[in-house]
Structure 1
Amino acid sequence: MSATTAGASPVVTVVQPRTVERLVTGVPTSDGAGVKLTRVLTQSLQRRLDPFLMLDAFGSDRAEDYIAGFPDHPHRGFETVTYMIAGRLLHRDSAGNEGLLESGGVQWMTAGRGVIHSEIPQQEDGLMAGFQLWLNLPASDKMSAPWYRDFAAHELPRVRTAAGVEVTVIAGESHGVGGAVTRTATAPLYLDIHLPAGAQFEQPLAVEHNAFIYAYQGQLTVAGQVVPEHTMAILANEAASDGVRLEARADARVLLVAGRPLGEPIAQYGPFVMNTEQEIYQAVADYRAGRFAA
């Protein structure tokens, strides 16, 4: 597929924008073989932000913070979406997939019934930065076959508004442009929005969908509420609201993520996310028995 760039996007009008329910500051942590990152969406927010399970932000120009990467580890029951904004990361998995994720690219992986993969930096210095989002699967799809796709930066659809706002449409639809990936059950929207100083951007949102933004560069305003840099804003689910309006006094970059809640039980044990404890026990047993090989 080739990217779509809109020179002048359709007029989008949000009549009643959502407000900010709360601001969340991420928790510094490490994962893999000691990669330093910030966990923005933590396990305590999974029910509130259903169908999203986790959002990690990583960014450092210190090789010791990322060089060991994420050696072989398993997943079952959900999808991972890795978005690189700087750096190079090599993916290999037990289903035979391999891909080099570079700046501006996205890796979308459906773990389904089980996959073992590694994500190893392909650089020894310089900036490595990006995000990994975990998207839950409905019970009916948790034991589906694993799936994987790399999207290079030039393959991702883009929108440019009359106000000069540039939007990368990773999933969902924005201003008449469809994203790289669609999912029926969760209907995820995943946008990377770059707002120049003084610009405003509106995005319709289904009233029943959970939504949040993450300001990763600069600050912005949502319904009069300032969202500081490196802060997540959970958007309120208000019956009369039809979308969100973002405003930036200075240049800002923000992720906007939304999706249809599954409303199903969530049972998690590390890299396994199922619906019941018994399914978790089975996942652990299957992994230990080598049944994640393909």
Structure 2
Amino acid sequence: MRKFIVFIFSIAFNASMMFGLGFGWSIIETNNPKMGECSVDVFEGTDLYDFACLVDKQDVNGIKNSYSKYEGLFDSLESKGTDNKHVHLKLMHWAVGNKKYEALETLLVLGMNPNVLVEYGDYKLSPLYFALFNSRNHGINETDKFISLLLKYKADPNIGRSPLWCFTSAESVKGDLGKLKLLVDNSDINLEQYGYLDKPLFMILIEKRSSSLDLAKYLLIDCSINIDCNYFDDDGLKKKNEMTNSIDRIKFLSKDKNYKFKKNKDFLLILERAKSCSN
């Protein structure tokens, strides 16, 4: 009887854990627009559908021959809503989200605007944002060529929602120093964007992962970004016991018994920077 009770308890516990994980994942999924693996049929019924089909097939000659006929629609015409919060895509975003590299390169060479934005809730998202967020769909290495291509044709990382947000919230690129350097080395990205969600990247120190230290050290030591700032502009967004000042947060981590990297040499450099700025 005792073994049976333990068995039932174990099943109930595991079920609750799976439900919690599933519920958490559904929140993550629904908090982000559907950016990839989206059928070209979302353009069906619009004036761009025939051209979108050429992009879908990566028909380079067809794209070149038809480009001038449709170019007046690229910055304004949007798809029907996707199945996630009814996000409406422009053709540039759709091409990036669906890994149409050859077609995308052709479109950019022909002059398509890499800085067109789509609205998602209170935010406006650029194709560059889509490319970075889409690492989980594209494959980590393949994403680099999409980012590089967009930057080559003057994609602006400072318009719409900052792609820096992806480094704090998209699992596929958290702590990816290579991608951060790719952005920094090939654009004039503003590394000091503040706000509740578009937070400075060194705040991901709280993630307690070694790769976070790499990004933090790069930003604070190599890029010398401003460390003396408040995390929230609106304290109403502050969570209980959360550090609003960046310097205080870093000092807090150095004393946190659960923070396993507090003796790491990179973290000590970051802490030293925080101490020098507070004096």
- TM-score range (shorter-chain normalised) is under 0.3
RCO comparison, higher one (Cα < 8 Å, 6+): 1
Structure number, greater radius of gyration:
2
Structure number with the higher strand fraction is: 1
TM-score, length basis structure 2 = 0.23
TM-score, length basis structure 1 = 0.22
